[in-house]
C-alpha cells in the first residue's frame, strides 16, 4: 500500500536532500512524498498547519522545519521556541487528531556533554543553551501530545552538499585562508543528511515505532579531526588545490555566544537493532558529499559564459 508523506522545512539541508531524492525518483516506490518549504507550510501558524495538512491528509509527517541558528538563538529565545517547541506541537496536534504518524528530528544539543560514554536515548537531557532547550521542549511536547504516534530521531553534526554546514564552511575557509584553527576538545559524530534521509524514509515505510531514537554516522571525533579529514578528501577530489595548516585549538580559544557540549556522541544501538540502517561509515558518507560538491563545481565551471 502506498503511504503519503509530508516533509516540512524543505529548503533546509535535510529537506533539500529528501526533495532531491524525490526529484530523482530515488525514494522508495511505495512512498508518495510531498516536500513543503516555510512558504507552503509555516509550522508556527496552527491555522495554516491544519488547512494544509487537511488538504494533503498525509499518513506520515517528517518534521524537518526548525530554528537551527545555535548562537543567534541565545538572543532570540522566543523565536527558537516558537518553531522548535510550539511549531512542532502544532504539527503534533494535527497528527493526533487525524491518526497519522510523526517523525521529528531533534539534536545532540539536548545533552550537557559531560558524559564520557555515548548518550543513550534515556540518558538525562540537560541542554546548555537556548537552541537545545527549545528542541528539548519540542521533544517533551510531542511525547505528551502523541505518546503513541511520534518517533523522535536525535542526530548530530549534520551536513550535506546543500545549505550551510561545517563541511562547506571549512571548504570555503580552506580555499580563502593560509591557515584555519579548529576546536579540538568537542567530541561528537558527523551525520550526512543522506544517511538520515534514508533512515527516516525507512522508518516511514516500516511498521511504526514510537519513542526516541539516535542516529549518526558513527565515530567519536573532534571538529579538528573532522576538518583534517574534510581537507584530505577535498584535495583528493580536486575540490581544493592547496593544502594549508589546520591548527587544533581549545573551546576557550574560540568563544561563541552559545555553550556547546564537550562530548555529545549518541549511542545508536537501539536504532540499529530496530531498523535496516545505512551501513556506510562517517568517512564514506563524507566522501560521498565531497564527490557531489566536486561534481557540482565541475558543472558550474563548465557552464557557457554567455
**Residues near ligand NAP (CB under 6 A):** 8-9, 11-15, 38, 41-44, 64-68, 83, 87, 105, 107-108, 135, 155-158, 163
Which C-beta is closer to ligand NAP: that of 42 or that of 161? 42
Q: Could you tell me if 296 and 161 are in contact, meaning their C-beta atoms sit under 8 angstroms apart?
A: yes
CA count, 13 A, side-chain hemisphere, 115: 23
Shortest distance (Å) from residue 219 CB to ligand NAP: 15
Which residue in 67, 119, 131, 224 is the catalytic one? 131
Rounded alpha-carbon distances, angstroms, from residue 252 to 174, 185, 186, 205, 224: 22, 10, 11, 45, 14
Which C-beta is closer to ligand NAP: that of 46 or that of 244? 46
Shortest distance (Å) from residue 301 CB to ligand NAP: 26
| Cell numbers that stand for 183 in this block | 576546536
Among 66, 55, 159, 73, smallest CA distance to 104 is for 66
Nearest-angstrom CA–CA distance, 91 and 104: 10
Shortest distance (Å) from residue 32 CB to ligand NAP: 21
131 is catalytic: yes
Which C-beta is closer to ligand NAP: that of 15 or that of 149? 15
Which C-beta is closer to ligand NAP: that of 75 or that of 298? 75
Shortest distance (Å) from residue 304 CB to ligand NAP: 30
| Cell numbers that stand for 111 in this block | 545533552
3-state secondary structure of 217: coil
Positions annotated as catalytic residues are 131
Amino acid at each position: 500500500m502506498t503511504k503519503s508523506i509530508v516533509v516540512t522545512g524543505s529548503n533546509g539541508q535535510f529537506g533539500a536532500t529528501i526533495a532531491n531524492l524525490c526529484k530523482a525518483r530515488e525514494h522508495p516506490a511505495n512512498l508518495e512524498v510531498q516536500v513543503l518549504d516555510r512558504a507552503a507550510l509555516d509550522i508556527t501558524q496552527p491555522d495554516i498547519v491544519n488547512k494544509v495538512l487537511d488538504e494533503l491528509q498525509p499518513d506520515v509527517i517528517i518534521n524537518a522545519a526548525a530554528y537551527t541558528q545555535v548562537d543567534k538563538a541565545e538572543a532570540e529565545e522566543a523565536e527558537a521556541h516558537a518553531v522548535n517547541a510550539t511549531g512542532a506541537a502544532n504539527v503534533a496536534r494535527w497528527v493526533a487528531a487525524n491518526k497519522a504518524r510523526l517523525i521529528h528530528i531533534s539534536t545532540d544539543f539536548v545533552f550537557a556533554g559531560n558524559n564520557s560514554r555515548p548518550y543513550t536515548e534515556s540518558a538525562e537531557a540537560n541542554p546548555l543553551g537556548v537552541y537545545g532547550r527549545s528542541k528539548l521542549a519540542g521533544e517533551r511536547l510531542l511525547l505528551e501530545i502523541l505518546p503513541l504516534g511520534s518517533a523522535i530521531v536525535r542526530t548530530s553534526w549534520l551536513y550535506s552538499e546543500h545549505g550551510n554546514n561545517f563541511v562547506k564552511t571549512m571548504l570555503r575557509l580552506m580555499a580563502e585562508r593560509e591557515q584555519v584553527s579548529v576546536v579540538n576538545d568537542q567530541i561528537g559524530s558527523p551525520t550526512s543528511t543522506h544517511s538520515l534521509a534514508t533512515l527516516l524514509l525507512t522508518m516511514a515505510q516500516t511498521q511504526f515505532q514510537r519513542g526516541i531514537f539516535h542516529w549518526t554516522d558513527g565515530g567519536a571525533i573532534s571538529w579538528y579531526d573532522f576538518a583534517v579529514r574534510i581537507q584530505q578528501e577535498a584535495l583528493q577530489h580536486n575540490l581544493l588545490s592547496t593544502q594549508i595548516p589546520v591548527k587544533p585549538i581549545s573551546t576557550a580559544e574560540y568563544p561563541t555566544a552559545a555553550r556547546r557540549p564537550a562530548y555529545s556522541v549518541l549511542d545508536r544501538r537501539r536504532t540499529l537493532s530496530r531498523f535496516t540502517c545505512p551501513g556506510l561509515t562517517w568517512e564514506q558518507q563524507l566522501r560521498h558529499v565531497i564527490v557531489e560538491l566536486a561534481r557540482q563545481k565541475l558543472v558550474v565551471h563548465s557552464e557557457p559564459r554567455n
